[in-house]
Amino acid sequence: MQRMPPVHHRHQQQRGIALFVVIVFVMLSMLLALWASRTSLFNEMVVGNDADYQRAFEAAQALLQDAELDIRGENADGSFCTGSGDICRTGTPDKIPLEAKDVGPLLATLDSLTTKCRNGLCVKRSDKQDFWNNADASKGITLAQMTVNTIGARYGQFTGAAVGTASAPANPILADTSAATQGGWYWIEVLPYDESSKSSGLIVGGPNNLLPLNLTPSVVYRITALAYGRKPNTLVVLQQSYAQQKRKD
């Protein structure tokens, strides 16, 4: 007759299997916890980068609005700009043209410069358009050449728009002017509008009422606004065209 193994042997075998199962479950739990922590860290990085981009995007939009005020010669509250020095461009040699006779001399002066820009005003760029992506001077104007106080314009530099105080800035990005690679900049390209096109039928008023431009002088502006985020690799660039139309009344 076949004998059954002793009871205590069966108990030892059961304890060995239970230990192996527990070890496997512990390892699976550790892998699950590691995966969850890495997923949480990745999500936090994505959210942080997106938040930083949104802050820089808002700063760039504020720079576009500040450039429009600069063109119109207005303060941040919409009143007529009065000031001294850079504010209202009272003490700067480069001013927003108010009459047709002012456009030619301004463009001639800017065109004679290496960067084709000064005090935030530029002639139309004819070489590399996206200078903010250029670090090679042999390929055209570089970002380092454009982000200089005498070339680009800071927020509020020519309008007097307040950025708050050091302890309570209205916008931390715009308030940071500690380095060329911090804060934000804008540049205004002065684009003369062809007078002959007003009678060419391309832009008409009257019954069709397509786009009657009342420009004085005949100039359209292209604004480029650039804002750095708080993270090293965050950079936002916005562009818009702006036509300062005069009311007929």
Would you list the DSSP string of 196-228?
GGGGSSSS--TTT-S----EEEEEEEEEEEEEE
Give domain status of residue 116, yes or no. yes
Higher pLDDT, 117 or 206: 117
Give domain status of residue 41, yes or no. no
Give domain status of residue 135, yes or no. yes
Write b or e for each residue in 154-186: b if 16 or more Cβ atoms lie within 10 A of its Cβ, otherwise e: bbbbbbbbebeeeeeeebebbbbeeebeebbbb
Q: Around Cβ 212, how many Cβ atoms within 10 Å?
A: 13
22 phi/psi in degrees, rounded to 5: -60, -40
Instruction: Tokens for 115, please give them.
Output: 């960067």
Domain holding 219, by residue range, is: 47-245
Full-model pTM: 0.76
Q: Which helix (H) or strand (E) holds 22?
A: helix 7-72
Instruction: Tokens for 99, please give them.
Output: 């009459």
What would the mean pLDDT of 84-110 be, rounded to a whole number?
90
Residue 110 pLDDT grade (very low, low, confident, very high; cuts 50, 70, 90): very high
Higher pLDDT, 225 or 168: 225
Per the omega criterion (within 30 degrees of 0), is the bond before 207 cis? no
Give domain status of residue 241, yes or no. yes
Please choose, from the candidates 109, 225, 136, 99, the residue with its C-alpha nearest in 3D space to the C-alpha of residue 173: 225
What would the mean pLDDT of 176-183 be, rounded to a whole number?
92
Q: How far, in Å, CA of 145 to CA of 131, rounded? A: 9
Alpha helices per DSSP H over 156-212: 172-175
Give domain status of residue 30, yes or no. no
Give domain status of residue 85, yes or no. yes
Give domain status of residue 36, yes or no. no
Q: How far, in Å, CA of 69 to CA of 200, rounded? A: 31
User: In total, how many domains does the chain have?
Assistant: 1
Higher pLDDT, 221 or 212: 221
Give domain status of residue 32, yes or no. no
Instruction: Tokens for 203, please give them.
Output: 């832009």
pLDDT in tens, 219-242: 889 999 999 998 888 999 999 999
Q: How far, in Å, CA of 131 to CA of 94, rounded? A: 22
Residue 129 pLDDT grade (very low, low, confident, very high; cuts 50, 70, 90): confident
